[in-house]
Amino acid sequence: MTNSKDSQHMEKARRWLEGNYDEDTKKEVKRLMDEDTEALADAFYKDLEFGTGGLRGVMGAGTNRMNKYTVGSATQGLANYLKKNFKDKKLVKVAIAYDSRLNNTYFAKITADVLSANGIKVYVFDDIRPTPELSFAIRTLNCQSGIVITASHNPKEYNGYKVYWEDGAQLVAPHDKNVIEEVKKVNNVEDINFNGNPELQETIGEDIDRQYIDRIRGLSLNPEIVIKQKDLKIVYTPLHGTGVELVPRALKSMGFENVMNIPEQDVKDGNFPTVKSPNPEEPAALDMAIKKAKAQDAELVMATDPDADRVGVAVKDSNGEFKLLNGNQTAALLIQYIISQWEKRGLIKGQEYIVKTIVTSEILKDIANNHGVESYDTLTGFKYIAEVIREMEDKKTFIAGGEESYGYLAGDFVRDKDAIISACLIAEATAYAKENGMSLLEQLHEIHLQYGFYKEGLKSVVKKGKAGAEEINAMMEKFRNNPPDKINNSNIIRARDYSKGIELSMDTGNEYQIYFPKSNVLQFFTEDGTKITMRPSGTEPKIKFYIGVKQDIFENDDYPEIDKKLEERINSVIKDLGLE
């Protein structure tokens, strides 16, 4: 017997087969109906929704796929909302960028056509551009919104559609939900106006690039040291993405004259032919760059993801081997460098702050507090960091922000994580350390000696498709309704449920309100200082378990032993959670 959910996705598929859709789309739907009912169910069992990264999915026919009609529907809903929200503006303006993914210009053109067909002025970049530059363009051109066609570091079959507001930040409440509601009202393909108006479409490029690079150069904290260390050997790879032009250009603008590339990975190609995954969190993504760095005796390796908002870093250890830094380690190095230099220049006046996400290392808070700088926590997703920046405008001064997933920001002229800014400041921090007789890795060890050895682990459990989504929900409900008393033989002393907005003290049984937007996230804190966060991804078919542990360290010689012990603690937590 066919259940109601099966009937629903079959009915949706039939509507596409019978509706006003192009012939190629209808052929693909018919093929799925005849040959692959499981893929058909995944393509139609739900509609793509905005998560922490916006609209993102596998390309193909279906309501749960990235295609002309889901992109058109999202754009029509956004256009309707913009016209309502900015009804007093004579002309609503939107900027559009895209990365190197397959169908990049196709989706960008559909977006530009639908917006301009609705009387909205659009600025479209002349070629691939980093996501953070879109944020900059929105602010520079006084736009009311912006869209970037990207699926960040997802596999090649994915594409996405990320929406920004007039402050240059990703959509947050109430606009995110309001846009979704408007998109839901676009029930028929006939509701979408695809007839673009060329007179409302303008190409942008080099002028924005130049202004953007100028602002990045202004963030330099030690230009005189960069001059001394201008020959610092840096190997950089864009992993076939948008950083290919602007990262080397920005580094050279800062004063670094010895930036080496990987020609095979400079190729703009959405198939990402030289890597299994264009994700700088994956060690294999940096293999070619590290190989070149060894051959050239370089000191710093950096790789950016396809839309250049995240950066991976590798640095030399005492044996001359390259060590990959994780996102928390890079964040600690950046925050420590930037804050310490602000302090050295007398710029800390008591109104400065940093922002991190709840899954990011607590060492950032320790560093900030030690220098008299406030630290704010947000939910996962850089849009929440940007929301704090907006709320604090004209009240306090933003120094920097970061999240464990390799995204960082300094300055407030961009309102999203920015790998171009980050690459420049990481290079400058490396030059500063070298000028002071240290490597960047030795600088990290100094930070741990001062604040404690923080170590973090991440366990991701992938559950694809409709059945996988149901499994992930079941896992969260299990931990929510039946939390463990102990983890790795340490009592749980506090538990946070961000979906309910409460924190429970296990010792007293008292509940306290926590002031965050509601989100399907759980956190457990143990007596030995372990922090465990459970969170279904908003952009990928997986659930993530973030584990943070800490131990004091007093001698550099103890580093290997304590590192091993902390790794064992992380593995024990994973085992206790039943995730092996």
First to last CA, the chain: 37
Domain architecture of the chain: domains with CATH:
46-205 (3.40.120.10), 231-451 (3.40.120.10), 454-576 (3.30.310)
Neighbouring CB atoms inside 10 A of 489's CB total: 10
Percentages helix, strand, coil for the chain (3-state, rounded to 5) are 40, 20, 35
Neighbouring CB atoms inside 10 A of 560's CB total: 9
Query: Across the beta sheet with 234-237, what order do the strands follow?
Result: 259-260, 234-237, 300-304, 311-316, 322-325
Active site residue 152: yes
Instruction: Answer whether 521's CB lies under 8 Å from 379's CB.
Output: yes
Residues in the chain, overall count: 580
As a whole number of Å, the CA-based R_g of the chain is 24
Pick the closest to residue 574 from 550, 551, 545 (CA basis): 545
Pick the closest to residue 96 from 69, 67, 80, 74 (CA basis): 74
For residues 396 and 390, give the distance between their C-alpha atoms in angstroms, rounded to a whole number: 10
Instruction: Answer whether 372's CB lies under 8 Å from 397's CB.
Output: no
For residues 15 and 62, give the distance between their C-alpha atoms in angstroms, rounded to a whole number: 10
Q: Which of 116, 152, 422, 519 is catalytic?
A: 152
- Inter-axis angle of helices 327-344 and 363-370, nearest 10: 10
Q: From first to last of its 580 residues, what are the pLDDT tens digits of the chain?
A: 345 456 778 888 898 898 899 999 999 999 999 888 888 998 998 877 765 456 889 999 999 999 999 999 999 999 999 999 999 999 999 999 999 999 999 999 999 999 999 999 999 999 999 999 999 999 999 999 999 999 988 899 999 999 999 999 999 889 988 988 898 899 889 999 999 999 999 999 999 999 999 999 999 999 999 999 999 999 999 999 999 999 999 999 999 999 999 999 999 999 999 999 999 999 999 999 999 999 999 999 999 999 999 999 999 988 889 999 999 999 999 999 999 999 999 999 999 999 999 999 999 999 999 999 999 999 988 999 999 999 999 999 999 999 999 999 999 999 999 999 999 999 999 999 999 999 999 999 999 999 999 999 999 999 887 788 889 999 999 999 998 999 999 999 999 999 999 999 988 889 999 999 899 999 999 999 899 999 998 666 899 999 999 999 999 899 999 999 999 999 999 999 998 7
Pick the closest to residue 121 from 188, 205, 204, 242 (CA basis): 204
For residues 500 and 522, give the distance between their C-alpha atoms in angstroms, rounded to a whole number: 10
